[in-house]
Amino acid sequence: MATKIVGLDLGTHTVKVCELVTTFRNFELVGFGSEPVDVPPDQVPTVPQIAAAARRLLERRGVLGESLMCALPPRLATTCVLELPFDQPKKIEAVLPFQLDEVIPFDVEDVVYDYQIARRTPGGGATVLVAYVKRDTFSQFLADLAACGIDPKVVAIGPLSVYNLYDHMVPEGLDGAVAVVDLGHDHGEVTLFDRGEPTVARDLVGGGRDVTLALAEAFQVEPDQAERGKIAEGFTEPRDNDTQVMHTAEGPSRRTLISDACRQALGPLVRDLRRALVAHEVGRGNPVQRIYLTGGACLLRGLPAFLEQSLRVEVQMLDPLSVPFNRLADGGDSLRPYVSKALALSLRAFHRQHQSQLNFRKGEHAYTGDFGFMRGRMISVGVSLVMMVVLGAMVAVSRKRVLEAEFVTLQQQVVTLSQQVLGFETEDEEVLYQTIAGDGKQKTNPIPDTSALQIMAELSERIPYDVELDVDRLDVDLDRNKLQLDGRTKSGGDVERIVEAIRQTTCFKGRVNKERVEKSVDGRTKFRISAQSTCG
């Protein structure tokens, strides 16, 4: 039976979903949809506003009641890395509260946390990536979703969810570290992978909204107009000391103003990303060889080249739709920047070699939707069972009445048959059966052993097929136990074969006479054969 898994990306500009249909053996990407969050471009939406947009999208796609996988909105969760001398999950869970109590600025009872083993060392130790969120913040987040009828089965963190795409994202043979940068409207996220394992998962400062506000300030326009201008003309270009800046008589050109505004808005994000790359190289001794870009803000023209020059690292656009299970009918380039997180979250439902295990829905916040779903269906199931019992009883009563009517009809037929066979009416089927079968006391049976139709059928089977026989008359008299056959055939030899065939029948093994054999005008042989039956 096919089921549907939905990955829900709670973006601050648009909410996205990816729909995976799964069967017993495989799964397919069959749907994608998005819904804008109703806030002005210069404002940061609240969780209730994001939840309302998610509700509209899920209802429109008809997947509100399906299994949902989502991630916390930006800046709600924090991550840290711990080095432990063992890698057994039970030991890690036992010591993790004490370790966190020393490194986080909150009491460990006031946070909800989970972990992912990032790397196992040869000596049996482990590098553990821990994510935590304040307990009251997480409770309020779930309450805001529940107010819109949304109950996610998994709540992870956005940066780590891309780990579920690692097998399709990184080509085989790439030994160096890679980074995935998701640039959204309000924020950015970076995830660093070293030898196939996540080592850094954190938020970045800045996003597409900062570019919009920078353009609005540079051209002294409203944020709505600046947002439209960013989509139509926004770009950034690499620049070094030899690059000439275009000026007009009144000052810098429009192209230069747009590029400078975009570069200035992206400056904090680039600095934050550079720190993450350098810290990873210093701590792990393995520099990042490639950066994959995704997210709506990465559509800014010239952004890959700008980041490549600023960070001195190869930059490519991430193509999440290149997965072999993609069955989307359309979309292509227009969907690729938006699909990554929602697709990665939906893949969380499947066991993979590289997969995020982090889920905040544990303990008091554990997901009970499966039981709730059944509990909500118990009344419907009960009503359905009662209706099935009632319908079954109605069918049984109807069948009983039909059988009673058939019984009355059969009784009438028995009475009629008894009058014909016995000469008197009776409903006693035992009397009729003994009369028909014979009980050894009757010398004669009023029912003949063999009918005329059976005798004729046996004759047609016994007479050879190659005998050309024209029957003029065939009388079978059961009262006198006599058969008479008049006909014409090709020769006297065929007449002998017919006589021999009659002698082989069940009822005429005795006397068979050729009463007349003569030639007719047309040269055929006319004959008359009579036989005495031995059947009663």
Q: What is the pLDDT of residue 242?
A: 43
Q: What is the pLDDT of residue 226?
A: 92
Mean pLDDT, range 252-278, rounded to an integer? 91
pLDDT at 87 over 50: yes
Residue with tokens 């409770």: 139
3-state secondary structure labels for all residues of 38-70:
CCCCCCCCCHHHHHHHHHHHHHHHCCCCCEEEE
Q: What is the pLDDT of residue 2?
A: 66
Catalogue the E-assigned strands of 184-337: 188-194, 197-204, 247-248, 251-252, 288-294, 314-317
CA–CA dist 32, 329 (Å, integer): 10
Instruction: Give the lowest-confidence range in 112-126, 339-353, 426-440, 504-518.
Output: 426-440
Closest CA to 529 of 492, 521, 506: 492
Please give the structure tokens belonging to residue 460. Answer: 């047609």
Please give the structure tokens belonging to residue 313. Answer: 């690292």
Instruction: Give the lowest-confidence range in 131-140, 432-441, 484-493.
Output: 432-441
Q: Do residues 299 and 145 touch, judged by C-beta distance below 8 A? A: no
Q: From the CB of residue 301, how many other CB atoms can be counted at a distance below 10 Å?
A: 16
**Tens-place pLDDT, residues 214-230:** 999 999 999 999 999 99
Q: Do residues 216 and 222 touch, judged by C-beta distance below 8 A? A: yes
pLDDT at 160 over 60: yes
CA–CA dist 408, 482 (Å, integer): 41
Please give the structure tokens belonging to residue 397. Answer: 């009563």
By percentage, how much of the chain surpasses pLDDT 90?
44
Q: Do residues 127 and 81 touch, judged by C-beta distance below 8 A? A: yes
Q: From the CB of residue 225, how many other CB atoms can be counted at a distance below 10 Å?
A: 14
CA–CA dist 203, 181 (Å, integer): 10
Backbone angles phi, psi at 270, to 5 degrees: -65, -40
| Eight-class DSSP state of 334 | G
Q: Which of residues 183 and 465 earns the better pLDDT score?
A: 183
Instruction: Give the lowest-confidence range in 31-35, 85-89, 420-424.
Output: 420-424
Residue 118 — very low, low, confident or very high, per pLDDT cuts 50/70/90? confident
| Eight-class DSSP state of 73 | P
Q: Do residues 29 and 325 touch, judged by C-beta distance below 8 A? A: yes
Instruction: Give the lowest-confidence range in 97-111, 335-349, 451-465.
Output: 451-465
| Strand 177-183 versus strand 188-194 pairing type | antiparallel
CA–CA dist 431, 411 (Å, integer): 14
Residue with tokens 């992206």: 266
**Tens-place pLDDT, residues 369-403:** 765 445 545 666 778 889 899 998 999 999 899 99
